[in-house]
Amino acid sequence: LMRSVSSMLVLAGLTWLALGQPNVQGAGGQPPPPLHDTMLSMFDTDNDGGVSVAEITATLDGFEKMSAMGMGGPPNAAPGAENPMAATIRAAKRFAPMLHKLIDADGSGKLSKEELKWVAKTQGIIKKPGVLKHLVEGVFAKIDTDADEILSEVELRAAIEGETLEEILSMIQEQLPIPSLSTAASLSHDSRDLLKKHFQEGLAYLDTNGDGAVERKEMFGAVKGFKKMFMQGVTTVETMGPMLTMFKAFQPPGQSSNTGPQAKRRRGPPTHGEL
């Protein structure tokens, strides 16, 4: 699977470079396909109609190989300068598990085409100046009860366990609706525990130095990094996705993955080690 995904990405990347990194458009100059369709085609390596974290990681690993070959960087980059694509990939790998869980509204472990529509909606929201900043300032102020610019372990615990949790989540949902939080809020059984879990995991990503507390600069830095990674990632998908989809279309059925229904049907009797 890894070899197949990497090979397709490298081939698509070489073509992309050969064509001079063209603007995003569909065949015959038509508008590009919807982002969720492109993402599903790009990341759904076993063609089962859903995208898992493992499939995202495999595709990102392929992009990482491309960046190691110098693809994705500026044409006149100084020798030894880091390829911006490599930094984006590292950030994407870090955020991918949490982001996948937030988008996975039904908890299936696979992102459907419907769930992937969230990406384009969110792109439209966070690219507006000041939206994320306003949201982060509001959440930070709500948790930082002593106004010392640090969210202490006590304050974080109070925010997770106390009555302010619903207020904070309501603030988030009003400005940046997150599918899994909406689903959890509508549940009648153990809904609060699920909300607490999602919120706690989100705070853990903001604690970049791992000291149990979140400083203001940590929170804003993490959110700024997420926005940059998210927007660059969407641009990469919009640019490279259609090209990769084209190469996948020319592959023999079932060759893009060694898993899935087609691969299982072609497999012979199990070996002794598989029993």
What sign does the dihedral 9-15-18-20 (CA atoms) show?
negative
Better-predicted residue by pLDDT, 51 or 254: 51
pLDDT of 85 > 90? The answer is no
Q: Which residues contact 78 (CB under 8 A, 6 or more apart)?
A: none
Q: What is the mean pLDDT of the chain?
A: 75
User: Of 201, 256, 240, nearest to 66 (Cα)?
Assistant: 240
What tokens does 14 get? 């070489």
Classify residue 150 by its DSSP letter: E
The percentage of the chain sitting over the pLDDT mark of 70, rounded to a whole number, equals 65
Pick the range with the lowest mean pLDDT from 2-11, 85-94, 144-153, 185-194.
Answer: 2-11
Give the C-alpha separation, 47 to 51, whole Å: 9
pLDDT of 135 > 70? The answer is yes
Start-end of H helices in 45-130: 53-68, 84-103, 113-126
pLDDT of 145 > 50? The answer is yes
What's the Cα-to-Cα distance from 121 to each of 48, 128, 243, 255, rounded to whole Å? Answer: 24, 12, 23, 33
Confidence class for position 51, pLDDT limits 50, 70, 90: very high
Give the C-alpha separation, 239 to 72, whole Å: 11
Ramachandran angles phi, psi of 151, nearest 5°: -90, 100
pLDDT of 268 > 70? The answer is no
* Residue 51 three-state SS: strand
pLDDT recorded at residue 95: 83
pLDDT tens digit sequence for 146-158: 999 999 999 988 8
- pTM, entire model: 0.71
Better-predicted residue by pLDDT, 5 or 81: 81
Rounded to an integer, the average pLDDT of 29-35 is: 78
pLDDT recorded at residue 266: 39
What tokens does 56 get? 């995202």
Rounded to an integer, the average pLDDT of 203-214 is: 86
What's the Cα-to-Cα distance from 45 to each of 26, 38, 133, 201, 216, rounded to whole Å? Answer: 22, 12, 36, 27, 39
Confidence class for position 118, pLDDT limits 50, 70, 90: very high
Confidence class for position 249, pLDDT limits 50, 70, 90: low
Confidence class for position 18, pLDDT limits 50, 70, 90: very low
pLDDT tens digit sequence for 59-69: 888 877 776 76
